[in-house]
Every structure is written in C-alpha cells, then in structure tokens.
Chain A
Amino acid sequence: MSQVEQPLTIDEAYNQDNDRALKFLRPRFHEEKFPTIQILGYIGSLILTFGAYFLVMDHVLPPVSLLAVILALAVMQGALQIGVFMHVREGRGLAWQIVPLYLVFLIAMGMVGMSIWIMLFKSGVS
C-alpha cells in the first residue's frame, strides 16, 4: 500500500532508532553537487590496485615483506570500498551494520589467512 507518508527528517529518523547512546555512530548524510569524495576514492582504489600489481611484477621486495605489504594494501582497499562506495556512515541503524561487518571481516580473514596457511605446503614440497 503506497501510503503517502511525510518523509522523516534526519533527526526524527535518528531519534526513532534505539542506538541513541552510540552518539559517534550517528549517520551523516552528505549532499553535494559534485561527487568529489567518490572520484578521489576511485583514484585511490586504482592507486592501491596498481601499487600491488607493480610490487609483484617488479620484485622489489623479498617474498614475506611483499605478502605483508599486499595484505596491508588489501585492507586499505576494503576500508575504502566500504567507506566511500558503500556509504557505510550514511544510513539509519548504523549499529546494526557493525555486526555484519564483523562477520565479513571474520570470513574474509578466515579465507585469506587459511589459504595462506594451506598453500604454505609449497615451500616444503617443491
């Protein structure tokens, strides 16, 4: 049923949620004429991607430090995607988004970490 409701203001919407104690999670809505942050984020994500690519292709680092640097770049990339393109701070009930985010990190870290653990066998075999 498409009841025509008056859209809530940000403050009203915020006050309807239960996480009033979590002041720092208060949503921020950006309304801008030009998507500066997104364009900067896009350039940033490209830099992170190509940075990783050239580090691997040009063999500038020993393997273990290379792995560490790439993982650090990957974490930065992930944070950038979630923050800039998924607008994680803009929305109601932000506290609820923390739970799935933890889940994502758990599973992603599990996949990456365990893959490294599993594939370490190569150093012993070949």
Chain B
Amino acid sequence: MPSFLPYLYHTLFPPTVRYPDILLIDFGLIMAGIGLLGFMTKTRRWGWLWREWLTTVDHKKIAVMYLIAAIVMLFRGGIDAEMLRAQLALPTTKFMPAAQYDEVFTTHGTIMIFFMAMPFIFALFNAVVPLMIGARDVAFPRINAMSYWLFAFGAILFNISFVIGGSPNAGWTAYPPYTGLAFNPGPGENYYFLALIIAGMGTTMTGVNFLVTTVRMRAPGMTLMRMPMFVWSTMITSALILFAFPPLTVALAMSLFDRLFGSSFFTLTRGGMPMMYVNLFWLFGHPEVYILVIPLFGVFSEVVSTFSKKQLFGYPVMVVSMLAIMFLSYGTWVHHFFTMGAGPAVNAFFGLSTMLIAIPTGVKIFNWIFTMWGGRIQLTVAMLYQLAFIPTFVIGGASGVMLAVVPADYQFHNSYFLIAHFHNVIIGGTLFGLLSGLYYWWPKMFGMKLNERQGKVAFWLFFIGFWITFTPQYLLGLKGMTRRLYTYPIGMGWHELNVISTFGALIMGAAFVALVYNIVWSLLYGEKDLTGDPWNGRTLEWALPSPVPEYNFARIPVVHERDAWWAMKQRGQSLADLKPEDVRDVEMPRNTPIPFLLGASFFVVGFGMTFKFWPIAIMGFVGVILCILFSGFDYEDHHHLKADVIRSTEASLGRLQG
C-alpha cells in the first residue's frame, strides 16, 4: 500500500466526519446516488439531461434549476435547524457534541442565506423578469447560465464539507479569530471561503445581468415608471448586489490568504486587524439583507394588486421608498457591531441611519394596505402569505428598531432577542415572500396550479409554527440566553420557553413536508393552466401561454401604460391574435456546455485549494482559463429560430389567426 494513502484518508475523512449520524447520511447518499444513476441509465435520460438542462441558456429552464436547488437547500438548512432545536430543547442535552453543534449552526445560517434564499430569488428573477418586460431572454444568456453553474458548484462544494474533511464551524459570519489557522486548522473554513467566493462570482454576474436586462431590454413603450413593481425591485436588487458583493469577496479572499498563504490581514498577531473583517463583512452584510427582502417587496406588490383587483396604491412612492432603502442600506452596517466600541459618534450616526430605514419601509407597508383597501380580495395561498407577511414583518422591523438603539443594543447584542429579530424579518419577509411568489408564478413556470387546499395547510403550519418558534426566543433573549450556546444548565428559567420553541420548529418541519407534498401532488395531478392567465393577472407574463414557449413572445408587445396586460384586457385585446405574416425569424442564444464546464473547473479549483492539493487546484485553473478563452472566441453563440417553427408552435397553442 502506498504510504500516502493513510494520510489521504485522515485528511479527507477525519474523525469529525465519522459521527454515526453522518455515516448514516453517507450511506443514504451513496444508495440514493446509485439509485439515481441506475434510473437515469435505465430510462436513457443522460442525453436529455445534457441537452435540455446542463447546457441550456434559456432563462426559464435556469429558473427551474435554481428553484430545485433552493428547495433542496431549504431541506438541508431545515434539517440543520431541527438538529439545533433538538439540542436546545432541554437543559444539559447531549444530542450532539459541541464541535458538531458549531458546524450545524454554521451550515444552517450559510445555507439558508447564500444557498437557499439567494437562488430562490434568482429563480423568481429568471422565471418572470424577461416575460414581464416583454423580452426574449436576459441580456447575457450565457453569463446567466455561468451564474447558475458557479452558484451550483459553489453550493456543492459547501455541501460536501460535512462528508469530506469537516464542515466550517465559525458561524455564518466566519469572524476571525475563529477562522484563524492557529485556532481552526481543519479544512472546514477553507470550504466556506472558497464556496462563497465561487457562488459570489455567480451572484455578481447575475446582478450585472439583470441590471442590464431591466435597463436595456424592455419592450417598446415600457418606460421606467411603467415597469411592474417586481421589475423595479429586480433592478434595485441588482444594483445592491453590484455594490455589496465586492467587499465580501475581498474579505473572504483576505481571510483565505491568512489561512493558506500565511498573510496576516485579520490575525491577532503581526499587526492584523480582526475587526476589519467584521467591518468588511457587514459592509456587504447589511445591503445583503436588503438584497434578500427587496425582491420580495416586489413580489408582494404584484400579488397584492392582482388579488385585490386594484392597481397598486402609490406606485411612485413605492419606487422612491425602494430607492431610499437602497441608498440608506449602505449607511447602516455598523449596527451589527455596535459593541465593538467604535465610539459614541460612530454608533450614534449608524443608530440613526438604521432607524431612518424604517420610514420608507413603513411607507411601503401602508401602500400595500391601501391597495387592499376597498379591493375585491381573493384569499389564495399567495395572498395569504402576503397577509401573513405584513404583521410579521412589522413586528420584526419594530424589534429591529429596538436593536438600533445603541445603549439597548449593548444588552440585546448576540442574545436570542437578535436571533428572534432576524428570523422574524427573514422568514416573515423573505421566506413568506418566496413562497408567495412560488404559488403565484408556479402556473407560469410549470403549466399547472399548485393545489390551493394543500397550500393552505402548508401556509397555516408555516405561519403558526413560525410564531411558536420565535416568540419564545424574544423572551429567552431578554432572559439572557445568548446565541451559539451549545447547552445550558438547569435552573436558568430557560427550558420551558425552549421546549415551546422546539415544538414550533417541528410544526415548521411539518409545513415543509406539506409544501413538498403539495408540489409533488400538483406536478402529478394538478389542475392544468390552459388559459395562461389563471389569476386574471395584470402584467405581461400572463399574456403568454403556460408554460411559455422557448422564444417567449412571437411578436414583441407594445406597452402604453402600467399593468399593460390588464389594460389590454380592458380594451379587449390580447397577444393571441397573431397573423402569420407578423411572425419573423427570431435570434436565439445557442446552448453551450461552457458554463457547466466553467463551474466544474471552479469546483476543482475550490476542492484543490481547500485541501492544499496544489496540482488539483492548478488543473482546475487551467480548465477555467480554457473555458474563458473558448467562450471569448466562440462566435457561434446564437442561431435563428425559423418563423415556420414559431408559427406552428403558436398555431398548436391556438394563438394564430387564419
């Protein structure tokens, strides 16, 4: 036996990945993998998978892939959450060792933010933004596919950490010195930094792509103030991404240099400045929380006006308040580390700027309520999430303003009060918004409705489970329980509230099961959407058949006002009155394997650098450079979809006259 094999074994499979539960998961993963390989081979689906999905540049298919990834990651992050709650339910529990607990809360946070919420948002962007603005695809379809595969391989790199080498364990914020090589020698934090750098590149490219798409690709007549509110929110989110991700990338790369190449940017010795990491991280982190919620403000604006059968109240004010949130969100980041002690001037400035953000947000809340006022409200599942969002987000926002009061923050800081606050806004704002958007746009993405009755069961379980989980955590925070606490002794007065909180977490777990059951049931037996406009919608995506054909619009529509499709319906017009001579050849992007190969190469780079296997990393880098070079000189990147093909497709959908 060669002598390096035991070394390799101990590097790749240290004792921290050999806990019994992880071995059980390994076994399950291997069995599921073999089963999947067998199924794909038996049904001869590999070619189909490669041609239709892995090489696609179609924004609608990329949306579906983002959605699948997001739901799988919601499962993974949810399991982590249930494990945390099981550990904390009772005092002095030994459900898992302390080291594993650290890993689980780290992966829970990282996965939920970067690998669940972000791709879910991009799924909605990709699914509807080009349709809403009357475009055939995003501005840069190939870069869109690259964004997806960079995200996907970043997520895979992050997720294999608990099987190979050990998970990161320094919290989702990865502060030094927890990540310092002296204190944390395993590969876990390398995984974290590399996975986030790779996924972050994809996210930045998505930001560029959707900014250009919304600025340049709108249908004739769609001025900025005629855009649907979701498109506004996409534009603003993209701008936020563009400015917020560079500080993160810099902070992660510098931490990685500290770990791999012996620099000392953030070390405790040799003049390093650990708090500078914290500063850079939150320079990204605060805009990030608005990246997570502004798209959902857009979703709620669409949902509330569709299901109230009214135009959105105060459209210009909504736009201005969203822009105000964008600007203000760059000036608040220090409120995440008031207790650093930057001094009263700094803390007062950032406390005030934080409170200021509550004003435009409050304006939006009132606008949604006034949109409902006097409307004919339909209580669909999407609308129920909207109704649940308003009180939940208001309470979460109010506790945020409490945290912005600097002297009080010295008490609340890193307690369960904070945990309850950010789950309150992220679940109440982001998750409810994502699910609202999922139920709203599902017919457009897949051509059938999600069953409303089952959806309502999932909704109520989520809503009730959420409040049972997180109300006790506010109280626990006030009673002094701090975050990232592995266990606690009897007699602190915490265990009743913790039991209630864990019970709530189980209800949310049941809600997830109900959601997945709803999706699977609806895919098999769901009511088909034959009209393309199941909700009597207002924006252009509902003018198209469901699911939307490859080229989106056979003829690009001309927009004359806000809520263009609603106005067309009022005038008795539709897009289904094509004449054969209206249809022309359409230039479409050609499928390409480059994005997939680029992502795979970055995965190899990431894996090699995580374990300092330099030859592997260099191989990956060569792959990256080859992909970029090939893509740069690939002039065959588009093809012409013939008018006859479009005519026959439209005729089969009954949308062609004569």
Binding site for B on A (CB under 8 A): 1-3, 107, 110-111, 114-115, 117-122, 124-125
How many angstroms between the C-alpha atoms of A14 and B227 in the bound complex? 27
CB distance from B651 to the nearest CB of A (A): 18
CB distance from B235 to the nearest CB of A (A): 12
Q: Does B491 contact A (CB under 8 A)?
A: no
CB distance from A81 to the nearest CB of B (A): 12
* Interface mask (B267-299 → A, CB under 8 Å = 1, otherwise 0): 000000101100110010000000000000000
A107 and B330 contact, CB distance less than 8 A = yes
Given A1-B584, A2-B584, CB of A118 within 8 Å of CB of B342:
yes
Candidates B283, B346, B555, B556; contact of A121 at CB < 8 Å: B346
Look across to chain A and name the residue whose beta carbon is closest to the beta carbon of B555.
A1
User: Using Cβ atoms and an 8 Å threshold, which residues of chain B touch A121?
Assistant: 340-343, 346
Look across to chain A and name the residue whose beta carbon is closest to the beta carbon of B584.
A1
A1 and B275 contact, CB distance less than 8 A = no
User: Using Cβ atoms and an 8 Å threshold, which residues of chain A touch B243?
Assistant: 107
How many angstroms between the C-alpha atoms of A1 and B586 in the bound complex? 5
User: Using Cβ atoms and an 8 Å threshold, which residues of chain B touch A125?
Assistant: 341
Q: Does B69 contact A (CB under 8 A)?
A: no
Binding site for A on B (CB under 8 A): 243, 247, 273, 275-276, 279-280, 283, 330-331, 334, 340-343, 346, 555-556, 584-587, 640
Given A119-B275, A121-B340, A121-B341, CB of A1 within 8 Å of CB of B556:
yes
Query: Of A107, A111, A117, A121, which is in contact with the most chain B CB atoms at under 10 Å from its CB?
Result: A111
Look across to chain B and name the residue whose beta carbon is closest to the beta carbon of A104.
B243
How many angstroms between the C-alpha atoms of A107 and B242 in the bound complex? 11
Beyond A118-B334, A121-B342, A121-B346, 15 additional contacts (C-beta under 8 Å) are A1-B555, A1-B556, A2-B585, A2-B586, A2-B640, A107-B330, A111-B247, A111-B330, A117-B346, A118-B342, A119-B275, A119-B279, A119-B342, A122-B275, A125-B341
A118 and B279 contact, CB distance less than 8 A = yes
A115 and B279 contact, CB distance less than 8 A = yes
CB distance from B275 to the nearest CB of A (A): 7
B584 and A124 contact, CB distance less than 8 A = no
How many angstroms between the C-alpha atoms of A120 and B346 in the bound complex? 10
Look across to chain B and name the residue whose beta carbon is closest to the beta carbon of A117.
B346
User: Using Cβ atoms and an 8 Å threshold, which residues of chain B touch A117?
Assistant: 346
How many angstroms between the C-alpha atoms of A11 and B233 in the bound complex? 36
B283 and A111 contact, CB distance less than 8 A = yes
User: Using Cβ atoms and an 8 Å threshold, which residues of chain A touch B331?
Assistant: 110, 114
Look across to chain A and name the residue whose beta carbon is closest to the beta carbon of B284.
A111
B279 and A122 contact, CB distance less than 8 A = no
B283 and A115 contact, CB distance less than 8 A = yes
Look across to chain A and name the residue whose beta carbon is closest to the beta carbon of B588.
A2
CB distance from A106 to the nearest CB of B (A): 9
Candidates A107, A118, A122; contact of B346 at CB < 8 Å: A118
B273 and A122 contact, CB distance less than 8 A = yes
User: Using Cβ atoms and an 8 Å threshold, which residues of chain B touch A107?
Assistant: 243, 330
User: Using Cβ atoms and an 8 Å threshold, which residues of chain B touch A3?
Assistant: 584
| Listed A/B pairs (30) with beta-carbon separation below 8 Å | A1-B555, A1-B556, A1-B586, A2-B587, A2-B640, A3-B584, A107-B243, A107-B330, A110-B331, A111-B247, A111-B283, A111-B330, A114-B331, A115-B280, A115-B283, A117-B346, A118-B334, A118-B342, A118-B346, A119-B273, A119-B275, A119-B276, A119-B279, A121-B341, A121-B342, A121-B346, A122-B273, A122-B275, A124-B343, A125-B341
CB distance from B208 to the nearest CB of A (A): 12
User: Using Cβ atoms and an 8 Å threshold, which residues of chain A touch B586?
Assistant: 1-2
How many angstroms between the C-alpha atoms of A4 and B342 in the bound complex? 61
How many angstroms between the C-alpha atoms of A118 and B283 in the bound complex? 12
User: Using Cβ atoms and an 8 Å threshold, which residues of chain A touch B556?
Assistant: 1
How many angstroms between the C-alpha atoms of A125 and B340 in the bound complex? 10
User: Using Cβ atoms and an 8 Å threshold, which residues of chain A touch B346?
Assistant: 117-118, 121
User: Using Cβ atoms and an 8 Å threshold, which residues of chain A touch B247?
Assistant: 111
Query: Of A3, A110, A119, which is in contact with the most chain B CB atoms at under 10 Å from its CB?
Result: A119
How many angstroms between the C-alpha atoms of A1 and B346 in the bound complex? 55
How many angstroms between the C-alpha atoms of A19 and B342 in the bound complex? 47
CB distance from A119 to the nearest CB of B (A): 6
User: Using Cβ atoms and an 8 Å threshold, which residues of chain A touch B340?
Assistant: 121
CB distance from B74 to the nearest CB of A (A): 32
User: Using Cβ atoms and an 8 Å threshold, which residues of chain B touch A114?
Assistant: 331
How many angstroms between the C-alpha atoms of A120 and B556 in the bound complex? 56
CB distance from B331 to the nearest CB of A (A): 7
Look across to chain B and name the residue whose beta carbon is closest to the beta carbon of A110.
B330
CB distance from A105 to the nearest CB of B (A): 12
CB distance from A9 to the nearest CB of B (A): 21
User: Using Cβ atoms and an 8 Å threshold, which residues of chain A touch B330?
Assistant: 107, 110-111
How many angstroms between the C-alpha atoms of A121 and B280 in the bound complex? 15
How many angstroms between the C-alpha atoms of A125 and B346 in the bound complex? 15
How many angstroms between the C-alpha atoms of A14 and B79 in the bound complex? 59
How many angstroms between the C-alpha atoms of A121 and B337 in the bound complex? 13
How many angstroms between the C-alpha atoms of A1 and B556 in the bound complex? 7
> 7 smallest A-B Cβ distances: which pairs?
A2-B587, A121-B342, A1-B584, A118-B342, A107-B243, A118-B346, A115-B279
CB distance from B639 to the nearest CB of A (A): 11
CB distance from B246 to the nearest CB of A (A): 9
User: Using Cβ atoms and an 8 Å threshold, which residues of chain A touch B273?
Assistant: 119, 122
How many angstroms between the C-alpha atoms of A125 and B341 in the bound complex? 9
User: Using Cβ atoms and an 8 Å threshold, which residues of chain B touch A1?
Assistant: 555-556, 584, 586
User: Using Cβ atoms and an 8 Å threshold, which residues of chain A touch B640?
Assistant: 2
User: Using Cβ atoms and an 8 Å threshold, which residues of chain B touch A120?
Assistant: 342
CB distance from B596 to the nearest CB of A (A): 27
User: Using Cβ atoms and an 8 Å threshold, which residues of chain A touch B584?
Assistant: 1-3
CB distance from B652 to the nearest CB of A (A): 21
